[in-house]
Copies of this chain bind each other. A is one copy, B any other.
């Protein structure tokens, strides 16, 4: 029996026992008061607090019925090797005996189930709508019995599927991973053959990284021992893309142990780069200044490197995109910028 089926079954048994004995079912509390920052491992995790769902109260029984309905649906998905999106679960629930006020309510139950089972929802058949990122380079994987090489799947590369834990990594000739924020830069690196010149797997994040992408980066780092570098725009949103890859998001605190990649290194664009490379810039907007303030209050940005960069960015009043290196030539980023940065960091 799969891990997911086993845990779903255990959960159901536990609920049954609690109902028989009229004892509360205890599930991990996911509210802010129970989210801790672990400065040593540099990730957010859930604390020890539990919610109690009492089977003989109105609210408790409703929440338990909702959780069991979603769990039963998940069991069906896992048994049939199927998946459904959060949206589809909400629509499907229209045919169930318990109901949900709106999709937010059913989404929250799915997250409760994740925290309770200690599984990512992708592992019990609940998938996101969107694709994960794309990978290009010397990587051979097996997906559902089919071997796929990330340089022979077309110029767009290999699309990371939502259930990336089910993907077997068969072979990899690269020595490092370079993950980039925009697909514009992804295509640039592929076209300049950065995967060969820098001996790297190139990952195109498409903005804030999807969970599947973060999980793959973690697996590449952990299973293959590859260093992971993150290359973003030179602005507070780009920097936070890196930070979420490294240490997870507060919202997914119950999953960060599997998603976070604490070894990931930031490779730019820094505020210092904007000055040193004399990059084309745009003025910071109000929302950028606000974001800088928010990041300053986040413990992950307390270290001197980020303090200095946040201060300098604010002082410059400007930000730069990663594509701005095209000012010098299209291949500048692969010939000059990235090699210089890798030298610095390795």
Contact = CB atoms under 8 A, between A and B. Distances in A.
B154 A95 contact: no
21 contacts: A82-B330, A85-B187, A87-B323, A91-B280, A91-B323, A91-B325, A91-B327, A95-B327, A95-B328, A129-B183, A129-B187, A130-B183, A131-B156, A143-B154, A143-B155, A153-B153, A154-B158, A154-B159, A154-B161, A155-B161, A156-B161
Interface residues of A, number: 44
Interface in A273-307: 280
A14 interface: no
Interface stretch (A26-34, A144-152, A256-264, A338-346): A144-152
A330 B187 CA distance: 36
A182 interface: yes
How many chain copies? 2
Contact of A83 (B158, B187, B321): B187
A88 interface: yes
A250 interface: no
Given A85-B184, A127-B187, A159-B159, 13 more contacts: A83-B187, A84-B330, A87-B321, A87-B326, A88-B326, A91-B323, A91-B326, A92-B327, A129-B182, A146-B152, A148-B153, A153-B154, A153-B159
A134 interface: yes
